[in-house]
Structure 1
Amino acid sequence: MDFIQDWLINMGVEGAMVTYLANGIMIAVIALLSIIANYVTKRVVLNVLTYYIHNNRYQWDNYLLERKVFHKLSHVVPAIIIYYSSYLFPAYQHLIEKGVMLYIIVVVLMVLNAFLNAINDIYNTYEVSKARPIRGYVQVVKIFIYIIGAILLISNMIGESPVILLSGIGALSAVIMLVFKDSILGLVAGVQLTSNDMVRVGDWIEMPKYGADGDVLDISLNTVKVQNFDKTITTIPTYALISDSFKNWRGMQTSGGRRIKRSIYVDMSSVSISSPEMIEKFRSIHCLQDYIAQKELEIQQYNLEHQIDELNKVNGRALTNLGTFRVYIECYLRRHPKIHKGMTCMVRQLQAGENGLPLEIYAFTNDIDWGVFENVQADVFDHIIAVAPEFGLRVFQNPSGHDLKQMLTPEQSERPERGYS
């Protein structure tokens, strides 16, 4: 500063103008140095660092680069130059130092935020991240960092020690608990979800209360983001997964089988004891040949042992078309290439009702893909409905217009409809 002032005096500048011009020149020099330092840092140092990161065998440092940790850190360089140049302006030194410190605190907060995001990204590259996500914990750490940063900013502005502000926070604990209620509940819920392995990123969950039915995209401190099958996004409070019930389909996905549990309704008036002609017809079905032979021998031995009069069909034991049909469906399911052979496979009767006798198919497909599952299920029931008449059975449905039309006499069906005016 003295050198500049002497130079200005030698140039013929007099009075207070010397001080003003010297300060202006010094400010311009400091600004130029800051611009050059910022340019060198970003254009030279960062480019060299980027080249090294992209050409080494490590991947974790790429996430630091993507989150721009080093770019944000470069903003500190000009601030340091300004801070150490503040003594050149004694009248404003304290104000300049305070302003620079506020700026550095903000930059450090931005760097720490980017660094924590990079840590979360690096952790997500490992398989364990799906079972033990840390996004919620990262957000808790961010909250503490922001609180500390806010305390440092306020204490720097008012010129008081941060300890004084920290002592005053105790008196505001009730307000803090109210403001951060959701965050605290989310933190506790996140710990329970993680420790009990209740939900992971990628799980298919179903929560009708919140209209959620799809895959978990993200588990954060306050919310769980679910992408429904119609591609809409549902956001659920994290603590709701602890306080409310939800269905997690991960067990189905890991088991390798998806359940078919659907019924057809048989018209009970079509159920009958199989006649010899029907038995001969059933015998020609490959799936039933061994069953028919075994049952006939078993029934014959039973009737002989108990001296059953077979002239009356009510006496003794006999094959029924419904029982044979049920055995056929079981055989068909066990031979189906898309039905899981290692899981439960059965056909059972349920309680009869006004819609007929429910015949429920309970089996598992060996492919958990939704589209494949629906195709297999449709294929199975297409076949069952189509072959039911071959066993003398009728599938029940409420009368349709076609059924009522079949009840009309030929004269009634050919009579033209009467118009109304």
Structure 2
Amino acid sequence: MNIEEGLIDIICFLEEFFVDHGMNPALALYLNLLINLIVLTLIVLGINYMIKHFIIEGFKLFTNKTKTTLDDFLIKSNFPKYVGRFLPIFVVYKLFPLIFSNFPDILHAFYFVLKIYIIILVIWICRSVLRSTRNYLKTREEFNDKPLESFSQIIMIFIWIVGLMFIFSEITGKSVVGFAISLGAASAVILLIFKDTILGLVASIQVSVNDIVRIGDWITFEKFGADGTVTEINLATVRVQNWDNTFTTIPTYSLISDSFQNWRGMQESPGRRIKRSVYIKQNSVKFLTSEKIEELKKIKLIAPYLETKQSEIDKYNESNNVDKSLLINGRNQTNLGIFRKYADTYLHEHSAVHKEMYIIVRHLAPTANGIPLEILCFSRDKRWENFEYISADIFDHLIAAIPYFDLQLFEAPSGDDFRDYLGKRSES
């Protein structure tokens, strides 16, 4: 006698016992069936209890002694619990057909439900492993800026598609290959229904492969009002924490379809660019007399330059017999030119300005608001608050220095200016 025959004898024992003691055969059959189901339920509950209190707890004790954290994440994602469910499934798979051997319709439904459950259980196990791997990689420094959420979602979607194909195959009775062919025929409808998901999938792959955005990047996306740090990248959206601590959600596809600004290059470069202008009144620009030049030589930063430059200009004018009764004749220095040199020297001497990157002080085309004198340099400190402090410090000094060169800043007149002007006119 093999094991299966012995189990059949045990299962049918009560039915034979009831019939031998005068019970109706049909009633004995159903009563025996009910008792066997209760026994099977108790066996399954006992196995689940063992799995929970011995196998899973033993796995937890094992993970506590290991150095790696991957097994800890497997515990948190219920991986041992899902795997442990295969043991009661195996017991039910072996005993249920013996209990319901006289009920083929119920057996057919049982096998169908069991197969569906096993497919879903496998999907849950894959999801558990995927989540554990993702969470583990997040703890590794080399993966901190990678869109792991997008990768895991893409893989999970693929797993669900495969799982659903097997489920529909069981429901329809078609092979997986045949179902896949039918799915291909309905691809146009699928593309229409899942358009946003597919666009997000494509965008996530392109963002990752082309390294367009990483977690931790500072991006500015005016269309969505985003200006801050990327905190999460997933299949459908990119989450940005703005500098005012609000959050903006951007569709992932927008990162490849629209234009935005990524400040990563600045963050990885040696310095952060300062590019601002001061506007000089055009009628305040003039040639300098020798007396004014002597006065400006008291400014330490440009004294050596003035000595050398003025000597060169004087030699040129003398050698060419230039009539200097008019300042416009020959070569001359202007107050704006000397101020430009002063600003350039000041930037080269400033301790917070990066000396190995561009330092430029230049004129832009004159405007209705005056002559823009643009300052372009790079601060050593790239932190936002320090960068703003350095920029303000530079322009505070330059604006305060402008009057020493007999220059004036352009400023649109305010109501007080008109009031003062009219008051003076009325007094005169």
| Same-fold status (TM-score > 0.5) | yes
1:111 to 105, 125, 139: 125
Selected match of 2:216 from 195, 202, 208: 202
Task: Tell me if 1:355 matches 2:369.
Answer: yes
Aligned to 1:76: 86
Q: CA deviation at 1:245?
A: 2.7
**In the alignment, is the contact (CA less than 8 A) between 2:289 and 2:327 conserved in 1?**
no
Structure 2: state its 5+ residue gaps: 1-10
Given the superposition, is the C-alpha separation of residues 210 and 154 from structure 1 closer, same or farther in structure 2, using an over 3 Å criterion? same
Secondary structure of the 1:312 match is: coil
- In structure 2, the partner of 1:102 is 116
Aligned with 1:352: secondary structure?
A: coil
> What residue identity is the alignment partner of 2:273?
R
Between the aligned partners of 2:176 and 2:423, the Cα distance in structure 1 is 98
**Structure 1 stretch displaced more, 322-331 or 87-96:** 87-96
CA contact (8 A) 2:272 2:387 kept: yes
Q: In the TM superposition, what is the alpha-carbon distance from 1:66 to its structure 2 partner?
A: 2.8
How far apart are 1:222 and its partner, in Å? 3.6
| Pairwise CA distance, 1:412 | 5.6
CA distance in 2, matches of 1:297, 1:279: 12
Which of 66, 69, 94 is matched with 1:59 structurally?
A: 69
Instruction: Return the offset for 1:215.
Output: 2.4
- For the 8 Å contact 1:349–1:360, the answer to whether it is kept is yes
Residues of 2 paired with 1:380 and 1:345: CA distance? 13
Does 110-119 or 332-341 show the bigger shift?
A: 110-119
- Alpha-carbon contact 2:145-2:216 (below 8 Å) kept: no
Q: Letter of the aligned partner of 1:46 in structure 2?
A: I
- Return the letter of the residue paired with 1:354: A
Is residue 307 from structure 1 mapped to residue 321 from structure 2 by the alignment? yes
Q: How much has 1:360 moved relative to structure 2? A: 0.9
Maintained 8 Å contact 2:275/2:377: yes
Taking the aligned partners of 1:156 and 1:350, their CA distance within structure 2 comes to 74
CA deviation map 1:4-33 (0-9, x unaligned): 3356568x6832443333222222221112
C-alpha distance in 1 between matches for 2:269 and 2:22: 90
For the structure 1 residues 3 and 337, does the alpha-carbon distance in structure 2 shift closer, same or farther, using more than 3 Å as the test?
Answer: same
Distance across 2 between alignment mates of 1:114 and 1:136: 16
| Partner deviation per Cα, 1:384-415 (whole Å, 9 max, x = no partner) | 111211222211101123323432446968xx
Describe the superposition over 1:88-128 as per-residue Cα deviations: whole angstroms up to 9, x where unpaired.
12213332232222222222211112222223333444455
Report the counterpart of residue 29 of structure 1 in structure 2: 39
Identity over aligned residues, as a percent?
39
Aligned to 1:406: 420
Task: Give yes or no for contact 1:86–1:97 (8 Å, CA) kept in 2.
Answer: no
Counterpart Cα distance in 1 of 2:144 and 2:261: 18
Q: Could you list the per-position Cα deviations for residues 305-358 of structure 1 after superposition, in whole angstroms to 9, with x for gaps in the alignment?
A: 111122321222222221111111111111112111111111111111221111
Alignment partner for residue 23 of structure 2, among 14, 34, 43? 14
Write the distance in 1 (CA, Å) between the matches of 2:174 and 2:96. 21
Task: Verify the 8 A CA contact 1:83 1:96 in the aligned structure 2.
Answer: no
Q: In 1, Cα distance between the equivalents of 2:207 and 2:40?
A: 54
- Which of the numbers 232, 243, 247 marks the counterpart of 1:229? 243
Supply the distance in 1 between the matched residues of 2:326 and 2:425 (Cα, whole angstroms). 42
State the Cα distance separating 1:380 from its structure 2 match: 1.2
2:258 corresponding residue in structure 1: 244
CA contact (8 A) 1:265 1:358 kept: yes
Structure 1, unaligned runs of 5 or more: 414-421
Partners of 1:408 and 1:175 in 2: how far apart?
A: 76
Instruction: Name the counterpart of 1:174.
Output: 188
CA 1:279/1:13 → structure 2, altered by over 3 Å: closer, same or farther? Answer: farther
Q: Hey, what's the Cα distance between the residues in 1 that align with 2:200 and 2:36? A: 53
Asked if the contact 1:259–1:362 (Cα under 8 Å) also holds between the matched residues in 2, the reply is yes
Aligned equivalent of 2:334, options 308, 320, 338? 320
Classify the secondary structure of the residue corresponding to 1:150.
helix
Quote the Cα distance in structure 2 between the aligned partners of 1:62 and 1:153: 31
- Whether 1:266 aligns to 2:275 is no
Residue in structure 1 matched with residue 100 of structure 2 by the alignment: 89
CA–CA separation in structure 2 for the residues paired with 1:287 and 1:411? 42
CA displacement 1:41-95 (0-9 Å, x = unmatched): 1222111111211321223323322322223333333333222221212213332
Structure 1 Cα separation of the partners of residues 22 and 351 of structure 2: 100
Q: Aligned partners of 1:205, 1:390: CA distance in 2, in Å?
A: 41
In the alignment, residue 57 of structure 2 is paired with which amino acid?
N
Give the secondary-structure state (helix, strand or coil) at the position aligned to 1:63: helix
Cα distance, 1:26–1:384 mapped onto 2, change above 3 Å:
same
CA distance in 1, matches of 2:237, 2:144: 16
Provide the rounded CA distance (Å) in 2 between the counterparts of 1:75 and 1:368.
54
Q: CA 1:231/1:71 → structure 2, altered by over 3 Å: closer, same or farther?
A: farther
> Equivalents in 2 of 1:160, 1:319: separation in Å?
92
Q: TM-score, normalised by structure 1?
A: 0.88
CA RMSD in angstroms comes to: 2.6
